[in-house]
Structure 1
Amino acid sequence: MKTETLKINITQRILNINDNKILSKIAKLLDEENVIGYDAEGNPISEKEYAKDIHEALHQLSEGNLETYSSEEVRKKILGQ
């Protein structure tokens, strides 16, 4: 089935659902699968994964365990100086 046909089919089916439990499950699935970017290897990153990574980094930063670099250090690493 072509993508556009599949989208229309799914949309029509969702519009006919009156059960809030099922609609909530669909919403949860879409939220979990919402791709907002890709990592360095080209793997998709969901909004949920991104938020989790940010919270983990902030936690590590507050604990003093996050390795960080100044702009000058990054410039030197990139330019090999």
Structure 2
Amino acid sequence: MKTEALKINVVQRILSISDKGLLQKIENLLNKENVFAFDVEGNPITENDYVKNLDAVIDEIVAEKADLYTTTDVLKRIADDNKLAL
């Protein structure tokens, strides 16, 4: 079956589903498979995980518990770690 025909077949089957549990399983599978980016070790990050991580960081900032650095701080740290002059 060609890709377009397969898509249409899957969509038609999904539209006929009334079982909320099954629909949730399909959504979870799609979210799991929707790779949004990769972390520094090359592990996949889903869009859902990415949003959760951003929400966690925002919560830390709002609670004033986040470690925040200026651009200069970051550049200095990189330069120091690599024995470079700024």
Other-structure match for 1:78: 78
Q: CA RMSD in A?
A: 2.6
Q: How does 1:3-22 map to 2 (within 5 A)?
A: 11=7, 13-17=9-13, 18-21=16-19, 22=22
Answer 1 or 2: higher relative contact order, Cα 8 Å, separation at least 6. 1
Asked which structure has the greater CA Rg, the reply is: 2
- TM-score, length of structure 2 as denominator length: 0.68
| Structure 2 unmatched runs, 5+ | none
Q: How far has the Cα of 1:9 moved from its partner?
A: 8.3
Give the 3-state SS of the residue equivalent to 1:69 in structure 2: coil
* 1:34 counterpart letter in structure 2: N
- Write the deviation string for residues 18-76 of structure 1: whole angstroms up to 9, x where unpaired: 22445564244213331110111111000010000000000001111111110000110
Q: How many residues align?
A: 77
Other-structure match for 1:62: 62
- TM-score, length of structure 1 as denominator length: 0.72
1:57–1:13 distance in 2 versus 1, CA, 3 Å: same
Give the 3-state SS of the residue equivalent to 2:40 in structure 1: coil
Aligned-pair identity (%): 28
Other-structure match for 2:44: 44
Give the 3-state SS of the residue equivalent to 1:36 in structure 2: strand
| Structure 1 unmatched runs, 5+ | none
